[in-house]
């Protein structure tokens, strides 16, 4: 039995079927260990959700007992990590090309551990910011390196599901952060340094990632790029049958050649080429609108928003776990029942439209209902959980997927790097501004989010191409001809999907 895969040149390569054996279990372990980088990504971005309430009154950070951090200072604790993540994402890809995917992940694990311990041991506000920035560098590096490592070591038949496990681990990390926050926040409610107990938990998966990756193989594609074909074949033999490993070396060599072509491209070429320039703008638009949904405002500040809705600090920590459950549940549904079954644009339009409605509802309930009415806080909780569920089942995974699909192979690395850098940059700005907005206009902030998401619906409907069921080669050819003539990228939906 064999499997047929199309090469970029249009030729077909007959590969033996994957089968099952010790090598499939080895591949499973590679995926589990590497995605601890995603787990750390999720935990370190989600833990602030419950920790900020304690951090803002910690006298070690405020400088004096009874004082509180300002809204701007609270926002900076979050946004400094995102600034580091933007830089980490921008340089992470190029570093992994030089030192290797596995080696960089090992270094990132050390950075995760040092940063987690440093944050916990911070003796003033400025030291806290420095270690949060270091943590951001690790988060950004992991956000680009782990998916690349998984994609290069996975067989093409399982590449989508294996790479998607990283996204699942990210939301799982956020859920665990909410759950641990709820437990620690209620057990140590009267302790000034409660937030430090929440933060130190992140050191444990960093140790697992470090020790685990020391025993994992390097990416076979990267090894071929270095001219180390024998080592690449040895790696493939660990995660494939002997027959499949030998046959797949030809595919790996072809991918290595594509990577060399990618490295020869420069962003100046993208700017000069109309169709690539337009695709870059579409990718940037998708990335920025994804962050402008406000999802990470809920991931970072959800517990504070729930306090504003009328819940006590301890109860807010507990009910905030519902958002984590909704996030993981929606991601599982999206990965199993949505992503490969429906058109990308249709799901995105539905998602952003539903998100717009959720923001309007939150704004109306938050601003118009009597704050003394107990129903108000429960309605707001329900709307927030619904918003998280819709977002993580539609725009959350689909934007990342489309950004990985629409860019041409030769320039994909550079274009994704710019797009993810601006995604983190937008995330950083929102994280900094959100506490000040809610302090100034309260739940009226949700009306602003609603307006932006309504614009996202228009942007997607008029500019974003369809990529579902179409090979990357046909997409690239279509974009080159249609966008080169300045026609709308949405015309891609007119292509008949290729058989797979």
Average pLDDT rounded to a whole number, residues 325-343: 87
Average pLDDT rounded to a whole number, residues 442-463: 96
Of the listed ranges 161-165, 199-203, 282-286, the one predicted with least confidence? 161-165
pLDDT score of 98 more than 90 = no
Select the more confidently predicted residue: 252 or 447.
447
Average pLDDT rounded to a whole number, residues 4-18: 50
Name the average pLDDT for the chain: 83
pLDDT of residue 420: 84
Give 269's pLDDT tier (boundaries 50, 70, 90). confident
Average pLDDT rounded to a whole number, residues 467-494: 57
Tens-digit pLDDT profile for residues 344-387: 899 999 999 999 999 999 999 999 999 889 999 999 999 999 99
Tens-digit pLDDT profile for residues 271-284: 888 888 889 999 99
- Complete domains list, the chain, with CATH: 20-216 (1.20.1250.20), 267-500 (1.20.1250.20)
pLDDT score of 427 more than 70 = yes
Select the more confidently predicted residue: 353 or 319.
353
Tell me which range, 172-181, 304-313, 356-365, is most confidently predicted by mean pLDDT.
Answer: 356-365
pLDDT of residue 255: 59
Give 413's pLDDT tier (boundaries 50, 70, 90). low
Nearest by Cα to 77 from 103, 106, 56: 56
pLDDT score of 303 more than 60 = yes
Select the more confidently predicted residue: 373 or 472.
373
Tell me which range, 68-82, 222-236, 250-264, 275-289, is most confidently predicted by mean pLDDT.
Answer: 275-289
Average pLDDT rounded to a whole number, residues 304-309: 89
pLDDT of residue 376: 94
Select the more confidently predicted residue: 301 or 207.
207
Query: What's this model's pTM, rounded to 2 decimal places?
Result: 0.79
- In the chain, the percentage of residues whose pLDDT exceeds 70 is 85
pLDDT score of 50 more than 50 = yes
pLDDT of residue 489: 40
pLDDT score of 151 more than 60 = yes
pLDDT of residue 221: 79
Average pLDDT rounded to a whole number, residues 328-341: 86
pLDDT score of 325 more than 70 = yes
pLDDT of residue 268: 78
pLDDT of residue 295: 92
pLDDT score of 286 more than 70 = yes
pLDDT of residue 302: 86
pLDDT of residue 119: 94
Give 80's pLDDT tier (boundaries 50, 70, 90). very high
pLDDT of residue 100: 87
pLDDT of residue 486: 46
Of the listed ranges 230-239, 329-338, 403-412, 488-497, the one predicted with least confidence? 488-497
pLDDT score of 72 more than 80 = yes
pLDDT of residue 201: 92
pLDDT of residue 494: 44
pLDDT score of 5 more than 50 = no
pLDDT of residue 6: 41
């Amino acid at each position: 039995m064999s499997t047929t895969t199309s090469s970029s040149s249009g030729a077909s390569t007959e590969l033996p079927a994957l089968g099952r054996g010790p090598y499939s279990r080895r591949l499973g372990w590679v995926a589990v260990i590497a995605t601890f980088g995603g787990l750390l990504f999720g935990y370190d971005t989600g833990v602030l959700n419950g920790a900020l309430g304690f951090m803002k009154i910690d006298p070690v950070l405020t400088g004096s007992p009874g004082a509180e951090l300002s809204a701007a200072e609270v926002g900076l604790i979050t946004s400094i990590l995102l600034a580091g993540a933007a830089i980490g994402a921008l340089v992470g890809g190029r570093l992994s090309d030089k030192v290797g995917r596995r080696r960089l992940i090992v270094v990132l694990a050390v950075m995760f551990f040092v940063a987690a311990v440093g944050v916990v041991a911070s003796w003033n506000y400025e030291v806290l910011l420095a270690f949060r920035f270091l943590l951001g560098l690790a988060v950004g590096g992991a956000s680009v390196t782990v998916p690349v490592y998984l994609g290069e070591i996975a067989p093409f038949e399982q590449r989508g599901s294996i790479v998607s496990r990283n996204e699942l681990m990210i939301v799982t990390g956020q859920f665990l952060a909410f759950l641990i926050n709820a437990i620690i926040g209620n057990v140590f409610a009267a302790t000034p340094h409660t937030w430090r107990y929440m933060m130190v938990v992140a050191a444990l998966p960093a140790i697992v990632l470090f020790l685990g990756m020391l025993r994992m193989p390097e990416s076979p594609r990267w090894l071929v790029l270095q001219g180390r074909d024998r080592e690449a074949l040895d790696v493939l033999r660990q995660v494939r049958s002997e027959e499949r490993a030998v046959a797949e070396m030809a595919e790996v060599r072809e991918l290595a050649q594509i990577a060399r072509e990618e490295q020869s491209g420069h962003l100046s070429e993208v700017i000069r080429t109309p169709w690539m320039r337009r695709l870059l703008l579409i990718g940037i638009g998708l990335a920025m609108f994804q962050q402008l949904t406000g999802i990470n405002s809920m991931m970072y500040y959800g517990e504070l928003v729930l306090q504003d809705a009328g819940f006590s600090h301890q109860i807010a920590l507990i009910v905030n776990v519902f958002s984590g459950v909704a996030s993981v549940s929606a991601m599982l549904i999206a990965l199993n029942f949505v992503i490969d079954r429906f058109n990308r644009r249709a799901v995105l339009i539905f998602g952003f439209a539903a998100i717009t409605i959720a923001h309007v509802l939150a704004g109306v309930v938050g601003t118009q209902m009597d704050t003394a009415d107990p129903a108000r806080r429960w309605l707001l909780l329900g709307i927030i959980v619904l918003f998280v569920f819709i977002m993580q089942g539609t725009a959350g995974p689909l934007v990342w997927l489309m950004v990985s699909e629409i860019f041409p192979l030769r320039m994909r690395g550079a274009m994704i790097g710019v797009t993810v850098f601006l995604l983190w940059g937008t995330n950083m700005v929102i994280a900094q501004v959100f506490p000040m907005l809610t302090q100034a206009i309260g739940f009226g902030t949700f009306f602003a989010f609603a307006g932006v998401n309504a614009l996202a619906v228009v942007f997607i409907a008029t500019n974003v191409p369809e990529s579902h069921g179409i090979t990357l080669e046909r997409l690239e050819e279509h974009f080159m001809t249609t966008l080169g003539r300045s026609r709308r990228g949405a015309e891609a939906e007119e292509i008949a999907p290729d058989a797979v």
